[in-house]
């Protein structure tokens, strides 16, 4: 699994706008919209009186450090990778509505610098539900230092190091998919540093798109220092109105989330092992093998090895007892082999109970057996590996493939993580009668394969192809072929879904024809 979603733990809209009656004496500064199923962002200039300004802002907070199902808890349990190996995306989904939709503007996404309450308000028209957080108060008893919320930006908190972001919206109806990895990592690292605490993010119009607001607009009874809205570079026009779905929405896939993405694919070359060739680079000549240490059904580290180094040697003969016999095969420099003609490969720790080793092979044997050991203690003798040869061609091949999922079930539970195993062969494969009678057809491995999952009823992409720089839906492979794991909690239950595959071959992506359907309950 290379995707994990974290639903917002609280959200709300805060505003200083007038109610729909547009009275100039009553603003919604004490109003709260914490249980509304949408959040709203707007800037209105001169609607009530000449030069009047009205604003709303959105607050979101996510479970980064403060719960048992937080990002930090998942990192501590190895459910997500360490810093540098995972990216975090803020994902907000546009809400269609019947009002004017602004275009060509920029949003700011800034970390909030004070704890706030979600509140239980609902009214987004007359602003009659009074609760906190609101425009003035962060909680029922604690005010914001500045009206409209406190944020980690240069204009608000001097010396703040927390990153902020901007998002350009041209058409107006866009969703937001913003990489906020640096901010999430700061939150995680700052669990004991109050300046870097996770208080969520504020979504607001960038200052150039908020309305013009001079010091003369500030009521005489208020302290001007509380007005971060003082904006002599603002605009004298309105941006009304942008809405996103809130965490209370009935639409499962439209909820505000932080989505963790990483490449969890493991390329075990036991089923695609190649002899070194001058056709390939030194890197492409390396083959990687994996060892999985199971103890009573659970992956566990080998006690003597722990998270350290492990050795691998290669033989071409097994004795009658199934143990290696004869001499170790000498190997060339490269990968985990530190010198030419060395007899051992130095492997390393991957994850709990998982080790890997990489090496090139220049021997004459067509079948080899890897033996994993530490010193004189042998832990495992691997299955026979067939050594293949790279070949050039006098024509440009364009292979097409037929694929099946061999262990597909009709129904999966929403709480399970399923492993899907693929069988792949070339579409035009035509075996001889002898081949049919004597051989088990081996699966082919397409090294760069990706999956997506869509809802059958409306073709909605629940999980899109992760073919970008993160490769977060890339398939793994081993001696038995390609496979991937899918956590069914990512999918809304009581719907049928389809799996599609795309293969990257000859510099292009080719989507496969097959669709594999199942239901989540």
Q: Average pLDDT, stretch 97-109?
A: 96
Q: pLDDT tens digit string along 416-432? A: 999 999 999 998 766 66
pTM here is 0.91
- Angle (nearest 5°) at CA 166 between 162 and 168: 170
* Average pLDDT of every residue of the chain: 90
Tell which residue, 481, 425, 478, has the closest CA to residue 270. Answer: 478
Instruction: Please name the helix (run of DSSP H) or strand (run of DSSP E) that holds residue 167, with its range, or none.
Output: strand 165-169
Which of 15-24, 28-37, 68-77 shows the lowest mean pLDDT across its residues?
A: 15-24
C-alpha distance from residue 276 to each of 321, 385, 389 (Å): 31, 15, 8
Exposure class string for 162-196: b at 16+ Cβ within 10 A, else e: bbbbebebeeeeeebebebbebbbbbbebeeeeeb
> 365 falls in which pLDDT band (50, 70, 90)?
very high
Tell which residue, 381, 13, 48, 374, has the closest CA to residue 204. Answer: 13
> 160 falls in which pLDDT band (50, 70, 90)?
low
Q: Average pLDDT, stretch 317-345?
A: 94
Give yes or no for residue 264 having a pLDDT over 80: yes
Which of 170-179, 222-231, 353-362, 441-450 shows the lowest mean pLDDT across its residues?
A: 222-231
Q: Give all domains of the chain, ordered by start, each with its CATH number.
A: 3-261 (no CATH), 269-388 (2.60.40), 401-520 (2.60.40.1930)
Q: What pLDDT shows up at residue 221? A: 44
CB 206 within 8 A of CB 104: no
- What is d(CA 22, CA 46) in angstroms, rounded to the nearest whole number? 11
Q: pLDDT tens digit string along 440-459? A: 567 899 999 999 999 999 99
- What is d(CA 407, CA 421) in angstroms, rounded to the nearest whole number? 6
Q: pLDDT tens digit string along 54-94? A: 899 999 999 999 888 999 999 999 899 999 999 999 999 99
- Sequence-distant (6+) residues with CB within 8 A of 472 are 2, 3, 261, 262, 263, 264, 466
Counting residues of the chain whose pLDDT is more than 70, the rounded percentage is 91
Region of 69 on the Ramachandran plot (φ > 0 left; ψ -120 to 50 alpha; else beta): alpha
Q: Give the DSSP per-residue string, 358-385.
A: EE----S-SEEEEEEEETTEEEEEPPPE
193 or 285: whose pLDDT is higher? 285
Give yes or no for residue 439 having a pLDDT over 70: no
SS3 182: helix
Q: Average pLDDT, stretch 174-194?
A: 90
Q: Average pLDDT, stretch 190-196?
A: 76
Give yes or no for residue 434 having a pLDDT over 60: no
Q: Average pLDDT, stretch 120-132?
A: 94
Give yes or no for residue 223 having a pLDDT over 50: no
- What is d(CA 359, CA 283) in angstroms, rounded to the nearest whole number? 10
Give yes or no for residue 193 having a pLDDT over 80: no
Q: pLDDT tens digit string along 390-422? A: 999 888 778 899 999 999 999 999 999 999 999
Q: Average pLDDT, stretch 474-496?
A: 96
């Amino acid at each position: 699994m290379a995707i994990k979603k974290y639903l917002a733990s609280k959200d709300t809209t805060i505003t200083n706008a007038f109610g729909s009656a547009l009275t100039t004496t009553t603003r919604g500064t004490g109003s709260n919209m914490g249980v509304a199923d949408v959040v709203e962002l707007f800037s209105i200039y001169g609607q009530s009186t000449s030069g009047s300004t009205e604003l709303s802002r959105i607050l979101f907070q996510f479970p980064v450090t403060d719960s048992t199902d937080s990002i930090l808890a998942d990192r501590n349990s190895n459910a997500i990778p360490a810093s540098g190996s995972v990216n975090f995306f803020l994902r907000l989904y546009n809400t269609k509505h019947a009002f004017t939709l602004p275009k060509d503007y920029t949003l700011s996404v800034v970390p909030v610098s004070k704890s706030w309450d979600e509140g239980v308000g609902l009214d987004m028209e007359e602003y009659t539900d009074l609760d906190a957080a609101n425009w003035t108060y962060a909680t029922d008893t604690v005010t914001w230092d500045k009206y409209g919320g406190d944020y980690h930006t240069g204009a608000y908190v001097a010396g703040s190091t927390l990153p902020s972001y901007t998002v350009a919206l041209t058409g107006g109806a866009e969703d937001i998919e913003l990489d906020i990895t640096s901010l999430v990592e700061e939150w995680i690292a700052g669990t004991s540093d109050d300046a870097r605490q996770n208080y969520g993010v504020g979504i607001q119009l960038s200052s150039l798109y908020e309305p013009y607001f001079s010091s003369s607009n500030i009521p005489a009874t208020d302290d001007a220092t509380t007005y971060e809205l003082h904006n002599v570079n603002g605009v004298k026009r309105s941006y009304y109105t942008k809405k996103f779905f809130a965490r209370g929405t009935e639409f499962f896939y439209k909820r505000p989330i932080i989505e963790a993405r990483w490449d969890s694919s493991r390329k075990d070359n036991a089923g695609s092992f190649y002899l070194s060739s001058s056709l390939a680079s030194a890197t492409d000549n390396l083959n990687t093998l994996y060892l999985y240490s199971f103890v009573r059904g659970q992956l566990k580290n080998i006690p003597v090895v722990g998270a350290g180094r492990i050795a691998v040697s290669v033989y071409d003969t097994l004795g009658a007892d199934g143990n290696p016999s004869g001499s170790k095969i000498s190997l060339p420099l490269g990968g985990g082999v530190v010198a030419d003609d060395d007899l051992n490969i130095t492997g390393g720790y991957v994850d709990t109970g998982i080790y890997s080793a990489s090496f090139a092979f220049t021997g004459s044997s067509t079948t080899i057996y890897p033996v994993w050991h530490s010193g004189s203690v042998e832990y495992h003798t691997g299955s026979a590996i067939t050594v293949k040869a790279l070949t050039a061609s006098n024509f440009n091949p364009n292979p097409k493939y037929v694929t099946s999922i061999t262990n597909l079930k009709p129904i999966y539970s929403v709480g399970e993580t399923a492993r899907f195993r693929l069988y792949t062969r070339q579409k035009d494969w035509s075996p001889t009668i002898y081949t049919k009678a004597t051989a088990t057809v081996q699966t082919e491995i397409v090294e760069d394969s990706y999956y997506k999952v869509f809802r059958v009823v409306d073709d909605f992409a629940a999980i899109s192809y992760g073919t970008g720089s993160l490769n977060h839906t890339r398939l793994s492979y081993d001696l038995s072929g390609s496979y991937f794991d899918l956590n069914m909690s990512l999918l809304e239950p009581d719907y049928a879904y389809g799996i599609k595959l795309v293969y990257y071959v000859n510099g292009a992506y080719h989507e496969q024809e097959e669709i594999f359907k199942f239901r989540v309950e």
